[in-house]
Structure 1
Amino acid sequence: MTIALPRRAALLGAAATLAAPAVHAQEGPIRIGEINSYSAQPAFLTPYRNAWMMAQDEVNAAGGINGRRIETVFRDDGGRPEDAVRHAGELVNNERVALLSGGFLSNVGLAVADFANQNRRLYVASEPLTDALVWARGNRFTFRLRPSTYMQCAMLVEEAAKLPARRWATVAPNYEYGQSAVRWFKELLTRAKPDVQFVAEQFPALGRIDAGATVQALAGANPEAIFNVTFGADLTNFVRQGSTRGLFERRSVVSLLTGEPEYLDPLGDEAPEGWIVTGYPWEELNTEGHTRFRENYRRRFNTHPRLGSVVAYDTVSAIVAMLRKSGGTGTDAMIEAMRGLTFPTAFGEAEVEFRAIDHQSTLGAYIGRTALRRGRGVMVDWRYADGRNYLPTDEVVRTLRPQG
């Protein structure tokens, strides 16, 4: 989907840009290339695109960026890194976008980040959670909005360390995000409680979990607690099989992402109770900023926002703040504006900053427990964990991230 001028007008505009002095080129819209797994992950990315357009329309209604409208050219990578890279090249070379944004799956985000580095283009990654994006494979051109696997695992470990459980099992999708989450949870929990043991690991293929076999393998190890990283349809199948087979009885469960309405809502009255989760308590979060965001979203789309809605809205907010700070769309100027950039979040909590040292934002997450209310899953006893409190020191980051 392209939110842009008609094709003939776009071609004429491109020709005028080449022929006219730079001052006249600045009068055209600022184009953003947005690449995401829309068809592969619709539960998260349909609300994401809704909120993206809402944010863009609000910016343009208020006068744009110094009078220039922002426009977005959307591309669907289908969850395939090779398609994401192909779209990135087309967006940069044919659509003449000023920057790239988006990304959902971690392996896709890493592929776009590598493209950005090789082609010297700014990439504002919204969703990919792998730590490699800003650390081991971080580069000058890539910035990431959402709290990473390290950050969210650190938040969960604070609560997991309070549990009496010593014997743990883990289950996670078998790709970069799942592997990274399990690695950090094990390392951080072991630091907090050196006497813990990890007695079983299950890494089912993403989107193809054999939930019965997975549950049987976990139960066979007789853990006292489980760390779960599955999401989407895999999570639904895991919960149903685990509940049917008694896996969760008298066992604690700590679960990454499960409190997000994208994944909690589909469970309905099958939603588990008492799981420690990261998520988004959209209904009870009544800060001034979030109340305004929630009501605007509901009026426009006749449904409540999901976490994907927040991620998109905040990504646009960050890009807009950067463009106003940079004063132009030159890549070097935009990168310099991103380093240390602060902007408001739809959560209505403290302003978020993109750290200069590793290009990771300080956006936080909500930690709470799952419960059933009126036949559906909700988050209760939740708190906001500010991302800046769950990041390693600059000295540690320098050992994790290459120069640049």
Structure 2
Amino acid sequence: MLSFVRKTLLLGLAVVAGATASHAADPSAEPVRIGEINSYARLGAFTEPYRKGWELAVQQINAAGGVLGGRPLEVISRDDNASPADALRAAGELLNRHQVDLLAGTFLSNVGLAVSDFAAHNKVLFVAAEPLTDAMIWEKGNHYTFRLRPSTYMQTAMLVAQAKDLPVTRWATVAPNYEYGQSAVRVFKTLMSEARPDVEFVAEQWPALFKLDAGATVAALEAAQPEAIFNVTFSADLGKFVREGTTRGLFEGREVVSLLSGEPEYLEPLGAETPAGWLVTGYPVAQIDTPEHRAFVEAYQAAYGELPKMGSMVGYNTFVSIAAMLDAAGDTDTETMIAALEGLEVKTPLGPITWRESDHQSTMGAWVGRLEVKDGAGRMADWSYVPGEAVLPPASAVEALRPSGQ
């Protein structure tokens, strides 16, 4: 199983260029059907690269022989329109009409939680790709749900490890007013207060998701006179916040610690307006020089003519993990697949990750660094990769975080 994943990574470019028919999956074999759900219409900046990532993985997997002795992967994809209700309708159609073997995907935390609950009630495996809410694997975790990306807690803890040493005590926060933003602020305040009992939080701003009133938000933050700001806005809201804050001088002489702002999806649109000096999590794609990552980048560029983004990595790792799980399981029985994924180590372009048995969280990590502008474009500088296991609670502590028996 692991040798298969190494082949898809290290020989990815050759596979994309074309594999011999004798090594490809048997087109006459019954496919393994994966029902994939995501917010393509509403959140294309992340989900379109994500789609390209999983399509590349599926192409490589099928060209390299498929899964379960030659069966191809078949993905049936649906758009959830960033709506929990639409996601539930899609999940029902995929399971009942198309009889998929498992579900995968989703982006927004509230959507992911809805599909997770659906998976538990319908006893179907759900491999969540992107939703960051901690509830997905802890207080609302269940036997049928696994999650790939490092969670809100994990990425916030990576930032706090550096933010605690900043010579500031007065903090303000700004975050979208839904599950992800609320949990990010809660975790940041808890971890910062534990690391630095002298800090105080002097202001909070809670704009509606994708409806940021940048002028009012920036004015309110400025009025509180914080020494530092914790930012959780992303996508179009991030651009509005950066431009208005820069115009009004909000960031001058202040530290800003920001989730996700170093990811190409959100950083590239800022261009020369990138706020230099922000401490961020992100993905310095053009600067990572390991054999596994180079193979992934070369294969992605050969397929799409562009550098991958964070979404690309998430989509790719989700489906490489599913393939590895299927080969370890030996069939598509739900309980067998769950048992195979628990504790499974998978080779990825970032190095090996493990899907923890204790809470079904993968140990995929993230990069932490400072933003800078170079040649008119934003990028991460002074970055380092933080593996997920470095910021996750030990298995012994997970039992208290999850519902009884889950």
Q: TM-score, normalised by structure 1?
A: 0.92
In the TM superposition, what is the alpha-carbon distance from 1:298 to its structure 2 partner?
1.0
Q: Aligned partner of 1:121: which letter?
A: V
Which whole-Å deviations, capped at 9, do the CAs of 1:333-378 have from their partners, x for residues lacking one? 001011001101222x3x1011101001111000000000110100
What residue in structure 2 maps to residue 9 of structure 1? Answer: none
In the TM superposition, what is the alpha-carbon distance from 1:394 to its structure 2 partner?
2.5
- What does 1:81-120 align with in structure 2 at a 5 Å threshold? 81-120=84-123
- What does 1:32-43 align with in structure 2 at a 5 Å threshold? 32-43=34-45
Distance (whole Å) between structure 2 residues aligned to residue 277 and residue 136 of structure 1: 27
Q: 2:64 aligns with which of 51, 55, 62?
A: 62
Distance (whole Å) between structure 2 residues aligned to residue 30 and residue 109 of structure 1: 22
What residue in structure 2 maps to residue 361 of structure 1? Answer: 362
Distance (whole Å) between structure 2 residues aligned to residue 64 and residue 359 of structure 1: 25
Which whole-Å deviations, capped at 9, do the CAs of 1:161-197 have from their partners, x for residues lacking one? 1100100000000000000000000000111101000
Which whole-Å deviations, capped at 9, do the CAs of 1:56-106 have from their partners, x for residues lacking one? 010000110110000100000010000000000000000111000001000
What residue in structure 1 maps to residue 230 of structure 2? Answer: 227
Distance (whole Å) between structure 1 residues aligned to residue 348 and residue 237 of structure 2: 30
Distance (whole Å) between structure 2 residues aligned to residue 401 and residue 345 of structure 1: 28
Please tell me whether the aligned partners of residues 29 and 72 of structure 2 are also in contact (alpha carbons under 8 angstroms): no
Distance (whole Å) between structure 2 residues aligned to residue 312 and residue 376 of structure 1: 25
In the TM superposition, what is the alpha-carbon distance from 1:400 to its structure 2 partner?
1.1
- Residues 1:337 and 2:347 are matched in the alignment: no
Distance (whole Å) between structure 2 residues aligned to residue 208 and residue 258 of structure 1: 18
Q: Aligned partner of 2:275: which letter?
A: P
Distance (whole Å) between structure 1 residues aligned to residue 70 and residue 329 of structure 2: 15
Q: Aligned partner of 2:37: which letter?
A: I
In the TM superposition, what is the alpha-carbon distance from 1:27 to its structure 2 partner?
3.6
What residue in structure 1 maps to residue 52 of structure 2? Answer: 50
SS of the residue 1:400 aligns to: coil
Question: Which ranges in structure 2 are unaligned for 5 or more consecutive residues?
Answer: 1-27
Q: Aligned partner of 1:58: which letter?
A: Q
- Residues 1:194 and 2:197 are matched in the alignment: yes
Q: Aligned partner of 1:308: which letter?
A: G
SS of the residue 1:344 aligns to: strand
In the TM superposition, what is the alpha-carbon distance from 1:393 to its structure 2 partner?
2.2
Question: Which ranges in structure 1 are unaligned for 5 or more consecutive residues?
Answer: 1-25
- What does 1:197-276 align with in structure 2 at a 5 Å threshold? 197-276=200-279
What residue in structure 2 maps to residue 149 of structure 1? Answer: 152
Q: Aligned partner of 1:30: which letter?
A: V
Q: Aligned partner of 1:356: which letter?
A: E
Distance (whole Å) between structure 2 residues aligned to residue 298 and residue 219 of structure 1: 43
SS of the residue 1:367 aligns to: strand
Distance (whole Å) between structure 2 residues aligned to residue 378 and residue 322 of structure 1: 35
Please tell me whether the aligned partners of residues 152 and 184 of structure 2 are also in contact (alpha carbons under 8 angstroms): yes
Identity of aligned residues (%): 58
Greater displacement, 264-273 / 391-400: 391-400
Distance (whole Å) between structure 2 residues aligned to residue 300 and residue 399 of structure 1: 45
Q: TM-score, normalised by structure 2?
A: 0.92
SS of the residue 2:285 aligns to: coil
Distance (whole Å) between structure 1 residues aligned to residue 49 and residue 282 of structure 2: 15
Distance (whole Å) between structure 2 residues aligned to residue 289 and residue 237 of structure 1: 36
Distance (whole Å) between structure 1 residues aligned to residue 105 and residue 361 of structure 2: 15
In the TM superposition, what is the alpha-carbon distance from 1:278 to its structure 2 partner?
0.3
Q: Aligned partner of 2:70: which letter?
A: G
Please tell me whether the aligned partners of residues 147 and 362 of structure 2 are also in contact (alpha carbons under 8 angstroms): yes
Distance (whole Å) between structure 2 residues aligned to residue 250 and residue 27 of structure 1: 63
Distance (whole Å) between structure 1 residues aligned to residue 395 and residue 72 of structure 2: 37
Q: 2:138 aligns with which of 105, 116, 135?
A: 135
RMSD value, Cα: 0.8
Which whole-Å deviations, capped at 9, do the CAs of 1:264-314 have from their partners, x for residues lacking one? 000011011000000000000011000110111111111110000000000
What residue in structure 2 maps to residue 17 of structure 1? Answer: none
Distance (whole Å) between structure 1 residues aligned to residue 399 and residue 188 of structure 2: 21
Q: Aligned partner of 2:239: which letter?
A: T
Q: Aligned partner of 1:358: which letter?
A: D
Q: Aligned partner of 1:374: which letter?
A: D
- What does 1:365-380 align with in structure 2 at a 5 Å threshold? 365-380=366-381
Which whole-Å deviations, capped at 9, do the CAs of 1:302-333 have from their partners, x for residues lacking one? 11100000000000111001000000000010
Distance (whole Å) between structure 2 residues aligned to residue 229 and residue 345 of structure 1: 27
SS of the residue 2:140 aligns to: coil
Give the number of aligned pairs: 377
Distance (whole Å) between structure 2 residues aligned to residue 108 and residue 377 of structure 1: 31
Distance (whole Å) between structure 1 residues aligned to residue 33 and residue 349 of structure 2: 23
Distance (whole Å) between structure 1 residues aligned to residue 397 and residue 182 of structure 2: 21
In the TM superposition, what is the alpha-carbon distance from 1:256 to its structure 2 partner?
0.1
In the TM superposition, what is the alpha-carbon distance from 1:397 to its structure 2 partner?
1.5
What residue in structure 2 maps to residue 382 of structure 1? Answer: 383
SS of the residue 2:286 aligns to: coil
Q: Aligned partner of 2:53: which letter?
A: A
Distance (whole Å) between structure 1 residues aligned to residue 277 and residue 202 of structure 2: 22
Distance (whole Å) between structure 1 residues aligned to residue 396 and residue 225 of structure 2: 39
